[in-house]
Amino acid sequence: MNHLSLNENQVMIADMIRDFGAKSITPYRKEWDDKQEFPLSLIKELGKLGLMGVLVPTNYGGSGFGYFEYITAIVELAKLDPGIALSMAAHNSLCTGHIMLFGNEEQKQKYLPKLASCEWLGAWGLTEPNTGSDAANMKTVAKQDGDYFVLNGTKNFITHGVSGDVAVVIARTGEVRDSRGMTAFVVEKGTKGFRGGRVEDKLGMRTSETAELIFEDCRLHKSNVLGKVGEGFIQSMKLLEGGRISIAALSLGIAEGALEASLQYAKVRHQFDRPISDFQGISFKLAEMATELDAAKLLTFRAAAMKNEGKSVKLESAMAKYYSSEVAVKLSNEAVQIFGGYGFTKDYPVEKYYRDVKLCTIGEGTTEIQKLVIAKCILE
């Protein structure tokens, strides 16, 4: 990121992750990916490095950093293994972020130190089998019964649905599609009537666990409500603004990894007695890739700068997420093309980037949803 000079903390984080990754991620990533193994012990190690509570204030046991440091951490992890970076980002932005933004003091004291150290792994449940983009049409219901709420329903495509120790779940407490008819609850593993379900078998991001959350007459005390009853959906939309920056960062990491691999390969791969980087067909590809990656970085760091200043980033985070994820798909595709036949094998990292990257245009709001958000903002 030559044009965006890194601050001291960012340099320190990037160096730390590279050193850690060379020993603890790179040697194992193919095996994890092949077996679709979620390396929970590695995620716990990230907790010890302070990477699972990047934005959590130090008085709650977090690292107390801002969004620049957060982006750098995700980018560097994504270059090593996008699935690991996805798990780290989901834990930070969604579960931990929700409690940090909307929890009361007691809830923050109880959960944030355990989440920041990754003694407890976090999950966050909004999506359901029939409601992805149409989240307000959820079927998971929480009915009040005195001082308790009884939850019934299923959430799917949930990061850490099985391995998570604590989940923030959005359930309907009012009418269908009423934006004030949903409530956020914090639920601990082991609560009666709450369990993880089927683990998805995925195209990419295979080192990150994606599973169901199942609620069957799960009784939660009213002290488990985050914020006020009826605010869950509004909280979620606010939370996703920041979450989109993390998916933009995940996209940047994959795109940067794909470009770095392509540059290296194009200089050493010879055809017709010269490196393929000498051919205009390849050099122009590389030029386009570098330019689009820089544009994506600038959009993402603009959103991060505004977030650090406490400004609304509804438009900026949607633009960053939309553009960065689509660019990352394009760069990963071009990288496979530059590698040719070798790009289609598992001997080089570009094949994995190519599979992993597609999730970035889907998760935390599809490309189409980002365009809706952007259009709404610019037409107001």
Question: Rounded to an integer, what distance in angstroms lies between the CA atom of residue 247 and that of residue 41?
Answer: 23
Looking at residue 255, its amino acid is A
Tokens at 30, concatenated: 């193919």
Q: Where are the alpha helices (DSSP H) in the chain?
A: 8-24, 29-35, 40-48, 67-80, 82-90, 97-102, 105-116, 232-268, 280-308, 314-339, 350-356, 367-379
Tokens at 6, concatenated: 């890194």
The DSSP bridge pattern shows strands 182-188 and 122-125 to be: unpaired
Looking at residue 151, its amino acid is L
Whether 150 contacts 123, CB under 8 Å: no
Which residue(s) pair with 348 in the sheet?
A: none
Looking up tokens 């009826």 gives 230
- DSSP conformation class of 38: -
Looking up tokens 């609560």 gives 191
Whether 70 contacts 54, CB under 8 Å: yes
Specify whether 364 is catalytic: yes
For 189-280, strand residue ranges (E) read 194-199, 210-221, 225-226, 270-271, 274-275
Question: Rounded to an integer, what distance in angstroms lies between the CA atom of residue 169 and that of residue 148?
Answer: 15
Residue 235, Cβ density class (10 Å: 0-12 exposed, 13-18 middle, ≥19 buried): buried
Question: Rounded to an integer, what distance in angstroms lies between the CA atom of residue 159 and that of residue 364?
Answer: 11
Task: State the catalytic residue, choosing from 37, 364, 368, 380.
Answer: 364
CA count, 13 A, side-chain hemisphere, 283: 7
Active site positions, annotated: 364
